[in-house]
Chains A and B, each alone.
Chain A
C-alpha cells in the first residue's frame, strides 16, 4: 500500500451557513508538491488554513506523517504557512526575521543566528542580514520569507499565492528557483495559486477545487487529457466536453472551410506567440473556451470550424 504523508478525511467547514469546504479525501505523498487551483472563493485558502491550524474544521481528521494533528494547536504542528505578501516582521532585520522560528523554539542566540546565516546563504540573501524588510526588493522579501519558513524544518509547507506580489518575470524566475530548493529539501508542499501556468509548472500534481469540493487531483498531463468532469475541462480550458466523451485540445484542429465536418466556433481573441497565431475560441452551443494555434492569421469575430484529428 502506498504511504500517504498528508491525509485529510471528511473535512467540512461552514461559515455563516455557507459551506466553504467539503473534502472526502485528500492524500499527499512525501516530498510531493501539490498545486491547488480553482475559481476564487472555492476554499483554497481555507484548506491551507485548516492544515496550518489557523482555523478549525467542523468535522473531519487531518493526519501528517502518520500522526493525528486534528486537535494539535498551530504552534505545535509540523507545518508552516506562508502568505501572498512576504509579511516579514517590519521591526526586525532580515536575520532576525529568518531566525524567528528558532527563537520561538528557544534555540540559543548564537546557534540560531549561525543557522539563519547558513539558510540565508542557501536562498541567496548573503550580506543582507542587517537590512530591514523595507530596504530590500520584493523578490528578496519572498526569499527571506521562505528562509524564515524553511529554517524550522517543517514537514509540510503551505504557500498561499506566494508570488502574486511579484511582476511576471520575477515570478517565473522565483518559481523555478523555489521548485529546485523545495525538491532538494524533499519537502511536502501545498501551493495555492490562481495562475494555471504556475500551478502546472510547480506542481507534481494539481488539485482542482470548486465550491468547496475536490474535483480532481492528478498530474497536469492527466488533468488536461482526461478531466473527470465538465467543470475541470472548462476550468482548464483543456478541450471540449461532448455528451459522450471528452476531446482534449491536443486532438483538436482549427479549420476555415465550410466543407469540413466539425463544430462551429467563434474567434474571440487572437495573439501571436512562439511563431504561431493563437486563437481563443468560443465553441457554439457550449460554454467551452479553448485556445488553438494556426499558421495563418485569423480575425476576431470570424466563424471557424473545430474538428478532431486522429493521433
Chain B
C-alpha cells in the first residue's frame, strides 16, 4: 500500500459485492429458468397452475399470516422490553440473559418449547399434577395444529432477543437532554416518544420488521418440525416437491419459491414506499452515553424477571430432559436421572460425533470466510462515501430479504456441474448467504464506533496497514467479532434445508441428523444432542478468542 488513500472503497468491498451478485443474481435467474422448464419448452403454465390451486393459495396466505403475526408480536414485545429495560441491559448479566436464546438454532428452540408446551409436555404435566386436568389431550394442542400457534410461539420467543439486539444501540444513544428539552417545552410523555424516540427508533423497527418477516416467511426448519400436515408453509411444500419421489414436481418447488420471493419483495417495497415520509435521515450519533433512565422504571424489575424466567425455563427443561430416565406424566420432576442419553449419544452414535465434527468444521470455515470478506467490506461502508453507496448497501443486505432457499435451488445444478455440490465446499458457500449480511452489519457498526481518526494518528506515527489493523482496530473490534461468531455459527448450524440440498446427503451436519431423529429416538438423547448445538458456538468462540490472543498484542490489565 503505497498511499494511505489507496484503501479504495471499491477494492475493500469487491469480494463481498462479487460473491453476493454471483450467488444472488445467478441463483434467482436459474431458479426462475428452472421454474419455467427452460430446458424443455419455456412456459409459465406452472405459475398459472399454482396460482389457481386452492391449496397453494391457502399455503401462501398461511405463510404470510404466520410471518406477519410473529413479526409484529416480536417487535412489540421487543420494543416494550428495550424501552423498560435498556439501562438494566447495559450490565453484563442481564445482557447475557437477553442474548441467551440466540445461541440456539431456531429448530432447537422449537424443540425446547415443544418439551414445554406439547400435550405431554412439562406444562401439561404440571397442570395434571396440580389436578387441573386428567388427560394430556385436555391440554390445548399447540403444535402440529392448523393455526400454527407452536410455530408463532417459537418464532416470537426466538426473535424477541434479535429485536432487542437491533433496538438496544438506538436506545443507548438516545439523548436525554433532548427528552428534557421536550419536557421543559411543555411536552408530555407521548410527545417525548413521538419527537425524540420515534425518529430514531422507527427506521430500525422497520429494518427489523423486514429482516424478521422475510426470514419467518421463507424458513423451512421450524414449520417442518412443528407444523401441521395441512396447511403447510410454502418452504415446506417446496421441500416436499423437490425431494419427493415424483421428480416432475421439482419445477413446482422452484415456482413456489419464486412466487414467495416476489411476495416478499413486493411487501418490502410497498412498506418502504408507504413509510418514506416518516423516515428521517439521521446523522451518526456522537455515541456519548448519557445517564440512562427508562420510562417505565416501576415495571423494569418485574419485566426483567419475566424475561429471566422465559429464557431460563426452556433451557432448564432441555438440560433436565437430557438426564431423564423416567418421567411420569403428572409429576413435577423426573423420578430417576441418568447420563445414559449423553453416553448413548457420545459413545454409541458414531454418526453423532461425525456430525459434530462436520458442523464444527463447516461453521468455522463459514465464519472465517465471513470475517475475511466482511471486515474489509464493513470498513469500506463505515468510512467511505462513494458513488452508488446506497446501492451497495441494499445489495449486501438483500440476502437476508431474498429467501436463501430460492438461491440455493437456483445454484444447485450449477454446483453439481462444477463439482462442489455434495461436498462441504458447496455447503460452506451457500451458508455465506444467510450469514454475510449480518457480519457486515455488525462489523460496520463496530468500525463506526471506533472512527477513522485513530487510524490517521497511527499512520502518522508510522504504522502500516497491518500495524493499524492489529494494534488499533482488531483489539477494539473484539465485541463485534464476538457477536459475529455467535450469529454466524448459530445460523450456519441451524441450516437444514440448504445443507440437505447442496450437501445432497453426503455432508452430514448436526442439523441433518437432528431432523430424522427428532421424536423417533429417546428424548434424553435428542436433548443431549440439542445442548451440543449451543456448545458449538461457544467452542468456536474459544478457538477464535485463542487465535486473537496470539495476534493481538498483550494488554496489561
If the complex has contacts A92-B555, A100-B471, A101-B462, are A74 and B4 also in contact, measured as CB distance less than 8 A? yes
User: Looking at the complex, which one of B462, B476, B553, B555 makes contact with A75 (CB distance below 8 Å)?
Assistant: B462
Q: Which of B41-49, B92-100, B449-457 contacts A (4 or more CB under 8 A)?
A: B449-457
List the B residue with the shortest CB-CB distance to A76. Answer: B462
- Residues on the B chain within 8 Å of A76, using CB: 462
**B461 touches A (CB below 8 Å):** yes
Is B182 engaged at the interface, CB distance under 8 Å to the other chain? Answer: no
Please state if B458 and A91 are interface contacts (CB–CB under 8 Å).
no
CB <8 Å contact, A73 and B4: yes
Please, which residues of chain A bring their CB within 8 A of the CB of B553?
103
A112 contacts B by Cβ under 8 Å: no
Give every chain A residue within 8 A of B5 (Cβ-Cβ).
55-56
- Of the candidates A73, A100, A130, the one whose C-beta lies within 8 Å of that of B461 is A100
Complex Cα spacing A187 to B459, Å: 20
B457's partner among A55, A56, A81 (CB-CB below 8 A) is A81
Q: Give the interface segment out of A82-90, A197-205, A240-248.
A: A82-90
* Contact B456 A81, beta carbon cutoff 8 Å: yes
In-complex Cβ contact of A54 among B4, B454, B472 (8 A)? B4
Determine whether A93 belongs to the interface, using a CB cutoff of 8 Å to chain B. yes
For the complex, give the distance between the alpha carbons of A87 and B460 in Å: 13
Contacts of A309 in B (CB 8 A): none
Contact A152 B461 (CB under 8 A): yes
Complex alpha-carbon distance, A293 and B4, angstroms = 51
> Please, what's the 1-or-0 string for B458-477, where 1 marks a CB less than 8 Å from any CB in chain A?
11111110010001100110
In the complex the two chains form, is B472's CB within 8 Å of A104's CB?
no
Would A75 and B459 be within 8 Å (CB), given that A91-B555, A92-B555, A130-B556 are in contact?
A: yes
Q: Does A116 contact B (CB under 8 A)?
A: no
- The contact size tier of chain A is 20 to 34
Indicate which residue in B460, B475, B556 contacts A74 across the interface (CB closer than 8 Å): B460
Given the known interface contacts A73-B2, A73-B3, A89-B454, the answer about A80 and B460 at a Cβ–Cβ threshold of 8 Å is yes
Q: Within the assembled complex, what's the spacing in Å between the Cα atoms of A81 and B2?
A: 19
Q: Mark A30-61, 1 if CB is under 8 A from B, else 0.
A: 00000000000000000000001111100000
Q: Which residue of A lies closest to B463 (CB)?
A: A104
Q: Are A80 and B461 in contact (CB under 8 A)?
A: yes
Q: A60 CA to B370 CA in the complex, in Å?
A: 42
Q: Given A81-B460, A91-B476, A148-B461, answer yes or no on A53-B4 (Cβ-Cβ < 8 Å).
A: yes
- Say yes or no: B459 contacts A74, CB within 8 Å: yes
**Judging by beta carbons under 8 Å apart, are A149 and B461 in contact?**
yes
Q: Is A104 within 8 A of B458, CB to CB?
A: yes
| Cα distance, A100 to B5, chains bound together (Å) | 22
Chain B residues with CB under 8 A of A90:
476
Indicate whether A62 reaches chain B with its CB closer than 8 angstroms: no
Complex partner residue of B464 from A52, A56, A75, A100, CB under 8 angstroms = A75
Q: CA A75 – CA B471 in complex, angstroms? A: 15
Measured between beta carbons, the chain A residues less than 8 angstroms from B454 are 87, 89
- In the complex, what's the smallest C-beta–C-beta distance from B7 to chain A, in angstroms? 12
A1 at the interface (CB under 8 A from B): no
Q: Please indicate the chain A residues that have their CB under 8 angstroms from the CB of B476 in the complex.
A: 90-91
The reply to whether A93 and B453 form a contact with Cβ atoms under 8 Å apart is: no
Q: A83 contacts which of B2, B453, B459 (Cβ < 8 Å)? A: B453
Asked whether A89 and B461 contact (CB < 8 A) given A53-B4, A55-B5, A104-B467, the answer is: no
* Minimal Cβ-Cβ distance residue in B for A91: B475
Interface residues of B in 86-114 (CB under 8 A from A): none
Interface residues in A130-169 by Cβ distance below 8 A to B read: 130, 148-149, 152
Bound CA–CA A103/B464 (angstroms): 12
Rounded to whole angstroms, the CA-CA distance of A56 and B4 in the bound complex is: 9
How far is the CB of B455 from the nearest CB of chain A, in Å? 10
Nearest-neighbour CB distance to chain B for A114, whole angstroms, equals: 16
Does residue A280 face the partner (Cβ distance < 8 Å to B)?
A: no
Q: Which residues of A contact B556 (CB under 8 A)?
A: 93, 96, 130
**Shortest CB distance B470–A (Å):** 11
Asked if A105 meets B4 with Cβ closer than 8 Å, knowing A83-B457, A87-B457, A93-B556, the reply is no
**A79 interfacial by beta-carbon distance below 8 Å:** yes
Known pairs A89-B472, A91-B476, A92-B555; A104 contacts B461 (CB<8 A): yes
- Kindly provide the distance from the CB of A64 to the nearest chain B CB, expressed in whole angstroms: 14
| CA distance in complex: A53, B475 (Å) | 26
Q: CA–CA, A83 to B454, complex, Å?
A: 10
Contacts of B456 in A (CB 8 A): 52, 54, 81, 83
Q: Nearest-CB distance from B410 to chain A (Å)?
A: 41
Residues on the B chain within 8 Å of A75, using CB: 459, 462-464
Instruction: For chain A, residues 174 to 229, give those with C-beta under 8 angstroms from any C-beta of chain B.
Output: none
What residues of chain A lie closer than 8 Å to B475, measured between beta carbons? 91
B555 surroundings in chain A (CB, below 8 A): 91-92
Which residues of chain B in 475-495 are interfacial with respect to chain A, using CB atoms and an 8 Å cutoff? 475-476
Q: How far is the CA of A74 from the CA of B463 in the complex (A)?
A: 9
Minimum CB–CB distance for B450 against chain A, Å: 9
**Which residues of B sit under 8 angstroms from A55, Cβ to Cβ?**
5
- Nearest CB of B to A77, in Å: 8
A75–B464 Cα distance when bound, in Å, is: 7
**A56-B3, A91-B476 given; A152·B453 CB < 8 A:** no
Could you show 9 A-B contacts with beta carbons less than 8 Å apart?
A53-B460, A56-B5, A73-B3, A74-B460, A81-B460, A89-B472, A91-B476, A93-B556, A105-B462
Known: A53-B4, A104-B467. 7 other contacts (CB 8 A): A54-B459, A76-B462, A81-B460, A100-B463, A103-B471, A104-B464, A149-B461
Q: Which B residues are within 8 Å of any A CB, using their own CB? A: 1-5, 453-454, 456-464, 467, 471-472, 475-476, 553, 555-556
Interface residues of A (CB under 8 A from B): 52-56, 73-76, 79-83, 85, 87, 89-93, 96, 100-101, 103-105, 130, 148-149, 152
Which 4 pairs across A and B sit closest by C-beta, in order of nearness?
A101-B461, A104-B462, A81-B460, A104-B463
